[in-house]
Chains A and B, each alone.
Chain A
Amino acid sequence: MIKQMDASQLRSRMNRRVRANTVWKTIFLLATLFGLFVLAILIIRVVSQGASWIDMDFLTGRLSTDAERAGIMGALLGTVWVMFVVIPVTLIIGVGTAIYLELYAKKGKFQSFIETNISNLAGVPSIVYGLLGLTVFVRLADLGNVVLAGGLTLALLVLPILIVSAQEAIRAVPAHLSEASYGMGATKWQTIRRVVLPAALPSILTGSILALSRAIGETAPLTVLGIPALLIPFPEGLFDTFTALPMQIYYWTLDSSLVAEYANLAAATIIVLLVLLFVLNSVAIFIRNKFQQRY
């Protein structure tokens, strides 16, 4: 037997180890609970302030200075229109870039330079994208603060996130599947289209929905673009001025010092936005669970 291990010492050390284990477990649990606690306070506060203000008139009504009559239809429509720009632009450019970087680009200095910069872009504050959008889309392209300009700005903002997640999705497709395809004489494009993309699609969709929900909630870039929350007509196309849900929340919160009920309207709008995000995330989770393939 090993002499160095004295049995009683071993037992006391054992107790200490087990205790340390319990302590750490408690610390981690508290860390988790802290997050949940903050979230709960937020939700309780928002719901108690705003829930009673949500009804059909609120959802479908026009904006009004009279708090009792104000509705968010304009902001809802604005958010939807912006999504019509963000979704195709990010999907096409984002997935295209990811395919190029993962499957076509020669691994080397240039490729890793681009990849590093994309990761860096994902960390750039959103207000900077607002400035970019203001300079390029609103002023240079002379679009004005319309749906298209707002959508393109938000698309730029979430593009790096989408590229990175699409790259990960493509990388996760096992090499032995594409080898099987090449082995039968398929070209690279056939292999990408018939094997790699279908296998990566669920993850790509999940990633893009998450990126989308980020775009829906962004306020800072829209304020820089000068998106109003005034009594403007409902947007009906890409070149109409618009407002969006987070902008509505922002302005109502600002003005709640003037009209106290605006705080309730802001809370009610937050609930609508949260529900929207919750639905989007559920769809993402559903897609991931339902279509994710086993390899």
Chain B
Amino acid sequence: MSTLANSKMSVQLQSKESTANEQMETSNSNVETSGIVYDTKDLNLWYSETHALKDINLSIHEKEVTAIIGPSGCGKSTYIKTLNRMVELVPGVQTTGTISYKNKNILDKSFKVEDLRTQVGMVFQKPNPFPKSIYENIVYGPKIHGIRNKKVLDEIVETSLRGAYIWDEVKDRLNENAYGLSGGQQQRLCIARALAVQPDVILMDEPTSALDPKSTLKIEELVQELKKDYSIIIVTHNMQQAARISDRTAFFLNGEVVEYDETDTIFTNPSDSRTEDYISGRFG
């Protein structure tokens, strides 16, 4: 259907002209708000040989849910792992370009990763609690940051577990091993564990793909609640999920951002035919 090639929001990366538009846009929006948490400029990333991210330009908004969609291998995980520099754990990764987080370039080697990851929490595809008690899982982060006071830790445990809507289910078994929880509970525990460090941003890489529909729904509701206080970036393979819970959606393909717009627009009136093909299930 739409051959509208020139939607103002779409990010046409190859053309110099639209890059110029993009820059104008961001400089305009700078005035109205500091509502951008992450500003990615001309980001390229290589895994030794593979060119996994190509000229990414994306602005991620504060206290919104940003969904990242796209077929397998298009670079979604790579991108969000770049946002907390977890991607550096892979040997031989190289990046160019900048990612400003609160106006500082996190790709600059002088930016402490420990500091970044304290402000930016992450939830992984497979629930990965530590083989410890529920309590110990939650206080892991605070303890890392030097909090020793038992009273403070107890408080953190309760607020974090409440924040992840799992308090009522586990409050009587805080000293039991986290592996005794169901998959969905484990994932919410992992979210609570991330909250315990009091981050500003939460990155989620397909957080529900290993879960049953009911647990998935719970996590989705949780995300809706969390966005009041946190900026959330979520990778998902589930189109309905992206449509249900996100405010903006970025469509990745072969390491590029094909289209980035408000979720409603992406799903009802995409400007790139590849986006439309993907969300209507014609490939991927």
A residues sitting closer than 8 Å to B (CB atoms) are 106-107, 174, 176-177, 179-187, 190, 194-195, 199, 293-295
Q: Can you pick out 6 interface pairs between chain A and chain B where the beta carbons lie within 8 Å of each other?
A: A182-B117, A183-B117, A183-B121, A185-B113, A185-B141, A293-B131
A186: chain B residues at CB < 8 Å are 114, 141, 144
Complex contact A194–B140 (CB within 8 A): yes
- Does B126 contact A183, Cβ atoms closer than 8 Å? no
Are A185 and B126 also in contact (CB < 8 A) when A179-B89, A180-B190, A190-B144 are? no
- Say yes or no: B141 contacts A184, CB within 8 Å: yes
Q: How far is the CB of B41 from chain A (nearest CB, A)?
A: 24
Q: Taking the nearest CB of chain A, how far is it from the CB of B136, in angstroms? A: 10
The 4 closest A-B pairs by CB, nearest first: A185-B118, A184-B141, A183-B122, A185-B117
- Is residue B91 contacting chain A, with contact meaning CB distance below 8 A? yes
Contacts of A180 in B (CB 8 A): 124, 128-130, 190, 193
Q: A177-B128, A199-B131, A294-B131 are in contact. Are A185 and B86 (CB under 8 A)?
A: no
Q: How far is the CA of A187 from the CA of B141 in the complex (A)?
A: 11
Which residue of chain A is the closest to B179 with respect to CB atoms? Answer: A294
The size of the chain B interface, using a CB distance under 8 A, is: 27
B197 within 8 A of A: yes
Shortest beta-carbon distance from B116 to chain A in Å: 8
A293 to B122 Cα, complex, angstroms = 24
CA–CA, A107 and B197, complex, Å? 32
Closest residue of chain B to A294, judged by CB?
A: B179
Q: Is the pair A107, B91 in contact by a Cβ cutoff of 8 Å?
A: yes
B233 interface residue per 8 A CB criterion: no
User: Please, which residue of chain B has its CB at the minimum distance from the CB of A180?
Assistant: B128
Other A-B pairs beyond A179-B124, A180-B128, A185-B114, 10, CB < 8 Å: A107-B91, A179-B128, A182-B89, A183-B122, A184-B193, A184-B194, A184-B197, A185-B145, A186-B114, A190-B144
- A180 CA / B129 CA spacing, docked (Å): 8
B32 within 8 A of partner (CB): no
A185 x B197 contact (CB < 8 A): yes
